[in-house]
Amino acid sequence: MTEARSQRSLRWVLLASLWLSLMVLVMKVWIGWGTQSLSLLAVSLHTLVNVFSLFLGVVGVATRYSRGREILGHSRLESAMTLLMVAFMGFACFSLLAIALYQFVLSRSHSSPVTLTAPLLQFLGGIVIITFCLASFERYQTGLFDSATLRLAASRTLQDVWLTLGVLGGLVATSQGVGWVDSLAAIALVCLVLWGGWQVLCRQLPLFVQQVAIAPEAIAQTISQIEGITHCSHIRSWGLVGRQVMIEAQLVFHPDYMGLAQMLAERVEQLLQERYGNVKVVLYIVRPADPSGSAPPTGNHLKTRQKKK
């Protein structure tokens, strides 16, 4: 499977996971709103974090090699959407937390407002089965693509399965007259959602602030160790060292080594991976202009490959 085909296939897998997660989110919100269950609305926020994480993954795969964008970075629109999502999640979580605390206090003297029926519980059980199948699908695809985004999605989707099962048990208890279980579960879930959202934000933050992962001078010094490379320019790096870094550079080869460009590029990539760990390397050959000066330099994309240390 070529790199381009692999990226297209990964994008379709992420899109399928995104749409299924959106469907699960809509069903949870619909049931939670209809039954007035705070715990179900809280676990819906957890699903919303998963959906947004998948959205960022789809955008990252779709634009990873597009020119005009920073490597692995996001446009202003996507950054604005992230800030709006953070603001919405903060408002929703703290509002739901306040309501859950109030309902927990009232639950000792008043009956729970949660209304449940057997068909709704069965429908919620069906949602759990769908979510488990989605987590299994993502885990299987992770073994095929070795994608950090897909691996994180599979982990969080499986976590969503266990949380939804816990909410389902709490709803059963609430239907038996233990009204404080729903509000207490909502409080715990909101705290977990805040922690999960913070983890997703920290994972994406270096991509939004355009943080340079590795100094260009250090990368140039490493590449210059390869014989046959006369110049290295337009060096860019993105991500977090030790987790995943994207490196892009333009290489100028000595004319006598142009026939060995592919082999030298592989040596450059291997050297960068040995020094910085889990990296993706995109290299371009800059071909000099002809003697008349009529042809400008051109950059050719050599290869991209990910290898874990």
- According to DSSP, residue 290 is labeled P
- According to DSSP, residue 270 is labeled H
d(CA 216, CA 210): 14
Listed in sequence order, the residues at least 6 apart from 132 whose beta carbon sits closer than 8 Å to its beta carbon are: 158, 161
Q: Which two tokens stand for residue 238?
A: 């993105």
CA 121 to chain centre: 31
SS3 231: strand
Q: Which two tokens stand for residue 225?
A: 């160790």
Model pLDDT for residues 56-106, shown as the tens digit of each residue: 777 766 655 444 444 444 555 666 777 788 888 888 888 988 988 888 887
Handedness of CA 194, 200, 202, 205 (dihedral sign): negative
d(CA 24, CA 129): 11
Which pLDDT does position 273 carry in this prediction? Answer: 83
pTM to 2 decimal places:
0.66
Strands 279-287 and 244-253: parallel
Q: Topology of 216-307 in CATH?
A: Alpha-Beta Plaits (3.30.70)
Per-residue model confidence as pLDDT tens for the chain (309 residues): 455 566 677 788 888 888 999 999 999 999 888 888 888 899 999 899 888 888 877 776 665 544 444 444 455 566 677 778 888 888 888 898 898 888 888 776 666 667 777 788 888 888 999 999 998 988 888 878 777 778 888 888 898 899 999 888 888 888 777 778 888 888 999 988 888 778 777 766 655 555 677 888 888 888 888 888 888 888 888 766 656 677 888 888 888 878 888 888 888 888 888 888 777 788 888 765 543 333 333 344 454 333 343
Burial of 232 (0-12, 13-18, 19+ CB in 10 A): buried
**Residue ranges of the alpha helices (H) in 117-260?**
118-145, 148-175, 180-208, 216-223
Nearest Cα to Cα of residue 155 among 136, 172, 171: 136
Handedness of CA 155, 157, 160, 162 (dihedral sign): negative
Going from the C-alpha of 131 to that of each of 134, 150, 153, 154, the distances in angstroms are 5, 15, 12, 10
Each domain of the chain, given as residue ranges in start order, spans 3-208, 216-307
